[in-house]
Structure 1
Amino acid sequence: MAIVASAAQMRGMEDLLPDQADLLYEEELARNPYNLKMWIRYIQARTEASPKRRHLLYERALRALPGSYKLWYAYLKERRLAVRGLRPDHAAYEALNNTYERALVSMHKMPRIWLDYLGLLVDQKLVTRTRRTFDRALASLPITQHDRIWQLYLKFIHTPGIPVETAVRLYRRYLKLEPAHAEEYVAYLKAKGHWGEAARKLAELLNDDTFRSLEGKSKHALWLELCDMVTKHPREVEGMRVDAIIRGGIRRFTDEVGRLWTSLADYYIRRSMFEKARDVYEEGLCSVITVHDFSLIYDAYTQFEESLLSASMEQLAGDEEVGPEEGDDGTDFLLRDDGNDLDLRLARLEHLMNRRPELLSSVILRQNPHNVAEWHKRVRLFDGKPTKQILTYTEAVRTVDPDKATGKPHSLWCAFAKFYERHEDVPNARIIFQKATEARYKYVDDLAQVWCEWVEMELRHSNFKRALDIVTRVLTPPVRPARMTVEEERALSVQERVYRNLKLHLMRTDLEESLGTRESTCAAYDRILELRIATPQVILNYAHFLTEQKAFEDAFKVYERGIALFKYPHVKDIWSAYLAAFVERYGGKKLERARDLYEQAIKDAPPEECKSLYLDYARLEETHGLARHAMDIYARALAAVPKDQRKSIIDIYVSRASDFFGIAKVREIYESAIEAEPPNELSDDDVRELCVRYAALETKLGEVDRARAIYVHGSAVSHPDRAADYWAAWRAFEVRHGNEDTFKEMMRILRSVKVSFSHMQINSIVDAARITSKAEAEAGIAAAGAGGAKRSREDGDAMAELEAQAVAAMGLGAAGGATGRAALSGFVSAGVIQQGGEKDGGTGAGAGGAQRKAPAAANPEEIDLDADDDEGGAADMDVAEKAVPAGVFGSLAGLAAKGKDGAGAEGDGAQAKKRRT
């Protein structure tokens, strides 16, 4: 065996000896043993050598260069690879640890060497040695490199088997370097169950205003976490002032205090301090200001009481019934306490349930103590409890600030007084009203309402004289300087300004009308007028009162004062009542005075408001005056009222004229309405309707030609597409009363009107084109200069001229084709008006059918008529002419005479064209 061992040793020694290929490296290193590059080449060249051979080379190199980081790092890396897969307790690990220790003698400033060594020790589970090595690393490395060591150190702390005390001490050291990572420490303590230390550290963080959570938690979230911690583990946090901590959070964070209150109560519940927990719940319910927090606390409180009640019931059910002891006379139960508090706990739960509406009302009032409506609701909660209602009213009137109130603060005082009144305690109600009148208010109307309620209470109890005295006292003006500015008067208290309140004055007038005399009532109304606070209704009431007293002239004087005070539209009702009362009183006895009143009313009224006045005026003339005056009033009304109201006036005008003056006056009204000039003209729709009605009237009288002339006149404002009813009525008329010629003439006029309206549309297009061409010409002048400007003007003028020619060609037959409104003056009572004038395709005007001939443009839609037959028939007929009596025309005789003149007909056609345009 010795021989075999020696042989193996000899072979190992031979492996360590250099071979022929190593002589070059050995010679070079013999000359310069400090050549790092040569050592590295030598080691790299022996990659295939045995580990011992390579380790020997590393050792030789490090002996020569002990401060080379590269050699140490490569050597340690190769040694770590050699121990991979071995057990942690293998001897190779200890050898490697020694190598690291030797390396750290010179490499103690290299964090990479420390990290590799520490990682190796962590894998070996050498707790004490690892901890001491970490401490040596932290002591050796500069502070800027500590964060790299601490990352591995904290990982080492969290490995199993590390004592918690050791970890706590290490975390405390770490937080001195990185205080922002305190949440990691708290999380570790919570994981290990050290609730006391975790709560104290969390409280310390909350007291530090400079702390910012790396996890993004707010202060409120940390407070909630602390509260949960101290309440769920009360015995672990014995040394902490839990009550003070949670109350500090409640004062500091007001958005979710309900959870903090329940946490504090839960803390006392876990410590079996149930009475203290109940006090906390009550305090929370009386301090929260949101319904959400109230719900949290109330639900937790209810659950707490129910759990106590259930526990008591279970305890009673488990106890066995024990009979009286021997010798007991049956009275000792009065001196014994058997612990049965079930009735007490049940009463507490029921009391809590009954108090919920009151507690919720308190929460809402804490949100806004000036909420008047909520105070009224709170009073209603105590129905049947007069004492609590009185206390609630007292608290309400003391709490509500009129400047901040939501609602009407005076309603609290009034409801308070009515409460005493309902309980038949009128003296106390008067005391409340007296205090209410002395309270501060924001508006005068609030104080006035209090006085009114007081007066109404006295009236309900039949104290009429007291009620009148109260209202008289409040309306007595206070003593003040003779002259005060508006700003100075507004700065006065409402008690000094209430004497001008209209509501109180109206109440006084009502009382005076019922209880006083005529003189006192008139004095009350006159006081309102003197203070200039009257309204039109006050004037009407005053006049109505005097009318009931048969003082008609005094009532009329009141109306006159009201008319002087107000303007339209407020004076409209006063005028209506005045005129109606005057006419009802005197009728036709004082007709001239009534006429003057109506004239004055019409003069002051705007056009929109004068229609009813004209109609009433005309009705007065019809009833008590002259029909001729009534017709004049209707005519004035047509000129005065707006355009949209004239149609209704004409309807009444025609109806009354037919009753009083017959058909001649009706014709005059229709003709004047249809031919009215601006600004008294009617709308086109109204004109068409009147033409149809006028034509129907003439047709009923047998005047077919006059009716046809009216239809011709109305065609000028009747667009064929928009006024189809009008053309349908004319067509039906021609079917009943016309012939083939008149029907063809109607169709020709229809085509002419279509062209006329098309011409109007084209004119607007041409105007737009001219404006555009002018703008383009000006742009050409600015861009191209004088020469280009000349060409642009020539082109623009030529284009405009061509467009004008095209329009003239299209509208040649329509320029005067549609008969204007003035053509109405040319109709006669018999015969057919010849509409075949050739000028512009238009209709010739005049009684004799005078015409002016001009070349007419070809119309592709024109009906081909046999002109030869017509002309032949006309030539063969010997028609005798006879002058028409002037009586046939009536008032139109002069116009008919003018119509015979051709120039007059041309002027009428031009006028009709102008109106259509």
Structure 2
Amino acid sequence: MPSSSSISQDLYPSQDDLLYEEEILRNPFSLKLWWRYLIARSESPFKKRFVIYERTLKALPGSYKLWHAYLRERLDLVRNLPITHSQYDTLNNTFERALVTMHKMPRIWIMYLQTLTHQKLLTRTRRTFDRALCALPVTQHDRIWEPYLVFVSQRGVPIETSLRVYRRYLKYDPSHIEDFIEFLVNSCLWQEAAERLASVLNDGTFFSIKGKTRHRLWLELCELLTRHANEVSGLNVDAIIRGGIRKFTDEVGRLWTSLAEYYIRRGLHEKARDVFEEGMSTVVTVRDFGVIFDSYSQFEESMLAYKMEEMGMSDEEEEDNGEENGFGDGEEEDVRFKGEDFERKILRGFWLNDKNDIDLRLARFDYLMERRPELANSVLLRQNPHNVEQWHRRVKLFEGNPTRQILTYTEAVRTIDPMKAVGKPHTLWVAFAKLYEHHKDLANARVIFDKAVQVNYKTVDNLASVWCEWAEMELRHKNFKGALDLMRRATAEPSVEVKRRVAADGNEPVQMKLHKSLRLWTFYVDLEESLGTLESTRAVYERILDLRIATPQIIINYAYFLEEHKYFEDAFKVYERGVKIFKYPHVKDIWVTYLSKFVKRYGKTKLERARELFENAVETAPADQVKPLYLQYAKLEEDYGLAKRAMKVYDEATKAVPNDEKLSMYEIYIARASEIFGVPKTRQIYELAIQSGLPDKDVKTMCLKFAELEKSLGEIDRARAIYGHASQFANPRSDPEFWEKWHEFEVQHGNEDTFREMLRIKRSVSASYSQTHFILPEYLMQKDQTVNLDEAKDKLKQAGVPEDEMAALERQLAPATNDTATKERKVGFVSAGVESQTDGGLRVSANHEDIELPEESDSDDEEKVEIAQKDVPSAVFGSLVRGRDEGGMNGEADGTKDQDNESRLGALERIKRQKTK
């Protein structure tokens, strides 16, 4: 340990300090020199630096920089020392000396105050905070108040001191009252916390700096008042919470439970029950009702459990108490606590003087649980009292209790406004009357119906339903005359005076339109048919027609009714009126029924009249509805008229129906013509069908059927011509079925020439449907043709068809050559010479002296086969021959065939000359 003499020597300037000391002596008031001196001695012991700081501050006592650095080093020195160390006293004295000149510096005050707070010097710290507030300007008080509030919030600080400080702070900044309220709550000062929170809520200009809404503050106040009901006084808790209930409608259930909890904590249990009941009877949402009901049921259950715990009685004691309370055996006791007996006992105070009220509490709890559906339904009805379905559900809750059901129906019909009703309000009146009917009280049921028909409903149909239900009730009880009287009364037209009076009022009720209700008249006419006479029923039907409310079904029913009573001409007159009243599509059923009935009735006796009716029917019918009428018309001619006229009707039908139905109409036309006149007669119909403008797919279908017909008749050339005509509507890529059928036809009935012609037409049609056929490689087209020709030849041989003579001659004259020449043939070169015959087909050799063949020759085989043209009589093709003469498909084929024959003859002559050489 160093001696005292050595320590004292460290405090004096050393040889290194002479330079700084000389400069300081020359200029002792220079802060720069003193600060440089302190930095140079930053590694020196603190005692030496202490001496330098003291000398510096003695020379410059107003330097904030020096004081701040000196105090920071002093604080670092005592940081790890206990607060009872003597260095703290020295530090406090240093702060006091600094504040003599630094009393306007808030940072110095804050450092000093934090040090005192750490030392737990309550009185000195409080007084120092007050000195700081007095010394500093008010604009810097917020920097002092922050640590001041932290100080008074510490444990050990007296509550009175903290309250005084917070109250002083609220005078400086009232917006931080929420901090004060939190402090009061944390300090269990419930009375002042509730008063402050209530004052905040009463202040309309208050703005929460913590982002709390007024709704949240209300909930906090309610929770505070209810949880500490015995500690808070002087506030009207009931008025406060009810004010919140009226103002904040989204948390009504929670506020009601808070108010009830307040009374429970105050020990006013009956008052709490009243609050629960009031809350359940006023809330309008199911969620709030659920909150209140759950709290209410928990309260009753807890009270029951507490009472049973408190009594702690044995079975013998319970029996004794039961006898003292006037109860007999258990069965009688259970009966007493049910339904209205329980309510009467409560009213007359049966248990008011009884300390053992466990049975009362149990009965009260059961009664509450039984009322839950009714209370929940009341909530829904408070949301919308005009909800018809909820009223029906409420009546079902009281099933087995007619008195409550009647009261519910009475309340429902008084409450619901028919113009605002959700649902059908007339069903309540009907169900109300049926309740009386179910209990054999028809007089009151009629009274209810009589009141129901006087209500101004939203629609006429509702009022008509009430009248119909009333009449049905009379029918159920065999009062047929009364039901008819009701219908006559309901369908009676209002008088002129009543119409004038209603027009003057400006509000026309539905009763003024009831006489035009179709539902009512339909029911009325059914009653007349069943219970009335013929004349009365006809009068009702005529009245319906006069009011112009009849439907096609009523017209048909009226006619049927007349037919049943053998008034056929009158029935036909009704049909006539119906077809004049209605238009398509409604008149369709009337026409079909009228025509079928007329034909069935008269048959051939009034054929001209029937024809006139059919002509009128088909003239007025649109195209999409005319087909069944034409078929019915044709059936009439077939059965009772002339077959020629029937064919004419079919022909007119094919022109009248829309395009999508023409094919089916032509099929029917052809089938009937074939059956009546024979198959040859259908040729003309087929030709008309093909030329009538059918869609392409239907033309193709019709051509195929026509071709099958001709083939069955042995007209092969005619069938081939029809295939050729239909080929223009069949794309080989998308419709291969047509070409397969033609292919099979040629295999069975054709030869090589006709097969070549089919292939040429197929390529032509395919090219017409394609947009890129001009760039197809030629060898692909030739390859397809060669393969198809080889397959065709084999099938022709198997079928016994003789081979063409020109093809046989060319095969004999063809020289044998190597296959290599064929392989070296370039694509796109057309030759006229025969090269080889090794594979059974004809191959072409190069000949530069030959002329270029026409573009119609697509393969070498066609160049060597002569295709002959055979004249067909014009009578075979009919109208198709005119198309050929006008340069159609067959004309083009003839020119191509002539050119091919000339090319083949020239090729044969050159082959002969080569052999001779």
TM-score w.r.t. the length of structure 1 is 0.78
Aligned to 1:525: 541
Question: Match for 2:494 among 478, 481, 484?
Answer: 478
Q: State which of 874, 881, 904 in structure 1 corresponds to 2:886.
A: 904
* Cα offset, 1:640, TM superposition: 0.8
Residue number among 571, 577, 580 corresponding to 1:564 in the alignment: 580
Partner of 1:125: 120
> More displaced, 174-183 or 497-506?
174-183
Mapped to 2, the partners of 1:596 and 1:43 lie a distance apart of 134
Residue 743 (structure 1) aligns with = 755
Closer, same or farther in 2 for the Cα pair 1:906/1:65, shift >3 Å?
closer
Q: C-alpha deviations, 1:825-868, integer Å up to 9, x for none?
A: xxxxxx99x9x9xxxxxxxxxxxxxxxxx973154456446437
Give the whole-Å Cα distance in 1 for the aligned partners of 2:886 and 2:533.
76
2:185 matched to which residue of 1? 190
C-alpha contact (below 8 Å) 2:499/2:512 kept by paired residues:
no
Matched, 1:707 2:702: no
**In structure 2, how many angstroms separate the alpha carbons of the residues matched to 1:715 and 1:21?**
124
Pick closer, same or farther for the CA change 1:39–1:749 going to 2, 3 Å.
closer
AA in 2 matched with 1:715:
S
User: 1:514-566: per-residue Cα shift (whole Å, max 9, x none)?
Assistant: 33333333332233233322222222222222222322222222222222222
Deviates more, 1:48-57 or 1:256-265: 48-57
Give the aligned partner of residue 363 of structure 1: 379
Report the alpha carbon displacement of residue 67 of structure 1 after superposing the two structures with TM: 4.0
Q: Is the alpha carbon distance of 1:64 and 1:590 closer, same or farther for their aligned partners in structure 2, counting shifts above 3 Å? A: same
- 1:134 to 1:426, Cα distance in 2 relative to 1, 3 A: same
Looking at both structures, which has the greater relative contact order when contacts are Cα pairs under 8 Å and sequence separation is at least 6? Answer: 1
CA distance in 2, matches of 1:637, 1:597: 16
Match of 1:731 among 743, 759, 769: 743
Match of 1:221 among 216, 227, 230: 216
CA distance in 2: counterparts of 1:487 and 1:323, whole angstroms: 77
Q: The residue matched to 1:282 in structure 2 has which SS?
A: helix
Residue 179 (structure 2) pairs with residue 179 (structure 1): no
- Distance (Å, rounded) in 2 between the aligned partners of 1:471 and 1:695: 68
Q: Distance in 2 between matches of 1:487 and 1:671?
A: 70
Task: Report how many aligned residue pairs link the two structures.
Answer: 799
Separation in structure 1 between the aligned mates of residue 475 and residue 8 of structure 2, nearest angstrom: 139
User: Contact 1:223/1:249 (CA < 8 Å) preserved in 2?
Assistant: yes
Equivalent residue runs for 1:534-683 within 5 Å: 534-676=550-692, 681-683=693-695
Candidates 137, 141, 146, aligned match of 2:141: 146
Identify the residue that residue 256 of structure 1 maps to in structure 2. 251
* Pairing 1:506–2:501 present: no
**Structure 1 residues 340 and 482, CA, compared in 2 at 3 Å: closer, same or farther?**
closer
Deviation (angstroms), 1:622: 0.8
Q: Using the alignment, how far apart are the partners of 2:59 and 2:261 within structure 1? A: 73
Provide the rounded CA distance (Å) in 1 between the counterparts of 2:522 and 2:572: 21
Which range moves more in the overlay, 275-284 or 57-66? 57-66
- AA aligned to 2:733 is D
Partner residue, 1:391 = 407
Pair 909,539 (structure 1): closer, same or farther in 2 beyond 3 Å: farther
Compute the displacement of 1:610 (Å): 0.5
Structure 1 residue 59 displacement after superposition:
5.3
- Structure 2 residue identity aligned to 1:278: R
Q: Is residue 453–residue 466 contact of structure 2 (8 Å, CA) maintained in 1?
A: yes
Residues 907 and 314 (structure 1), Cα distance of their counterparts in 2 relative to 1, 3 Å cut: closer
> Which position in structure 2 is the counterpart of 1:841?
none
Separation of aligned partners in 1, 2:593 and 2:256: 71
Summarize the Cα distance change of 1:483–1:277 in structure 2 as closer, same or farther, 3 Å threshold.
closer
CA 1:745–1:63 in 2, change beyond 3 Å: closer, same or farther? closer
Determine whether 1:168 maps to 2:163.
yes
CA contact (8 A) 1:614 1:637 kept: yes
CA distance change for structure 1 residues 702 and 82 in 2, over 3 Å: closer, same or farther? closer
Deviates more, 1:639-648 or 1:533-542: 533-542
Alignment of 1:14-163 (within 5 A): 24-25=22-23, 27-28=25-26, 62=57, 66-163=61-158
Deviation at 1:193, TM superposition (A): 2.6
Q: How many angstroms does 1:115 deviate by?
A: 0.8
Instruction: Give 1:728's aligned amino acid.
Output: E
1:270-322 deviation digits (Å, cap 9, x = unpaired): 33332222222222222222222222222222222222222333334356957
* Structure 2 CA distance for aligned equivalents of residues 76 and 524 of structure 1: 117
1:281 matched residue in structure 2: 276
Instruction: Give the direction of change, closer, same or farther, for the CA distance of 1:333–1:424 in structure 2 (3 Å limit).
Output: closer
Residue pair 2:24, 2:34 contacting (<8 A) in 1 also: no
Q: Tell me if structure 1 keeps the 8 A contact 2:181–2:197.
A: yes
SS in 2 for 1:553: helix
Q: Give the % identical residues.
A: 54
Q: Secondary structure at the match of 2:369?
A: helix
Please say which of residues 648-657 and 157-166 is displaced more in the overlay: 157-166
The residue type equivalent to 1:399 in the other structure is T
* TM-score of the superposed pair, with normalisation by structure 2: 0.78
Distance (Å, rounded) in 1 between the aligned partners of 2:860 and 2:439:
98
- Does structure 1 retain, via aligned residues, the 8 Å contact 2:885–2:891? no
The answer to whether the 8 A contact 1:25-1:42 is kept is no
Corresponding residue for residue 769 of structure 1:
none
Answer yes or no: is the 8 Å Cα contact 1:138–1:149 preserved in 2. Answer: yes
Tell me if structure 1 keeps the 8 A contact 2:24–2:30.
no
* Letter paired with 1:867: V
Which of 306, 312, 332 does residue 311 from structure 1 map onto?
306
Matched residue type, 2:865: A
- Tell me if 1:438 matches 2:454: yes
- The answer on whether the counterparts of 2:471 and 2:483 sit within 8 Å (CA) in structure 1 is yes
Q: List runs of 5+ in structure 1 lacking aligned partners.
A: 764-802, 812-830, 837-853, 912-917
Deviation readout 1:601-650 (Å, 9 max, x if unpaired): 11111111100111111111111111100000100111110111112212
In the alignment, what sits opposite 1:867?
865
CA distance in 2, matches of 1:12, 1:702: 145
Letter in 2 for 1:352: L
Taking the aligned partners of 1:13 and 1:217, their CA distance within structure 2 comes to 62
Matches of 2:730 and 2:66, distance apart in 1:
114
Question: Are the equivalent residues in 2 in contact too, given 1:748–1:862 (CA < 8 A)?
Answer: no
Q: 1:687 aligned to 2:699?
A: yes
Q: In the alignment, residue 101 of structure 2 is paired with which amino acid?
A: S
- Give the gaps of 5 or more residues in structure 2: 328-349, 782-800, 807-851, 894-917
Shift of the alpha carbon at 1:589? 1.5
> Compared with structure 1, are the counterparts of its residues 9 and 862 closer, same or farther at alpha carbon in structure 2 (3 Å cutoff)?
closer
Tell me if structure 2 keeps the 8 A contact 1:265–1:278: yes
Cα offsets for 1:110-164 (capped at 9, x unmatched): 2112111111211221101111111121122222211111111122123221122
Q: Supply the AA of the counterpart residue of 1:187.
A: E
How far apart, CA to CA, are the structure 2 residues paired with 1:488 and 1:726? 79
* CA distance in 2 between partners of 1:9 and 1:707 (Å): 140
**How far has the Cα of 1:14 moved from its partner?**
7.5
Q: Which amino acid aligns with 1:457?
A: M
> Which residue pairs with 1:757 in the alignment?
769
> Hey, what's the Cα distance between the residues in 2 that align with 1:610 and 1:9?
133
**Secondary structure in structure 1 of the residue aligned to 2:204:** coil
1:696-753 CA distance string (max 9 Å, x none): 2222223233222222222222222233222222223333333344333333332332
Q: 1:908 to 1:67 in 2, by over 3 A?
A: same
Q: Distance in 2 between matches of 1:490 and 1:627?
A: 67
**Counterpart Cα distance in 1 of 2:700 and 2:527:** 60
CA–CA distance in 1 between the matches of 2:863 and 2:52?
Answer: 136
* Structure 1 Cα separation of the partners of residues 227 and 448 of structure 2: 54
In 2 relative to 1, CA 70–691 (structure 1 residues): closer, same or farther, beyond 3 Å?
closer
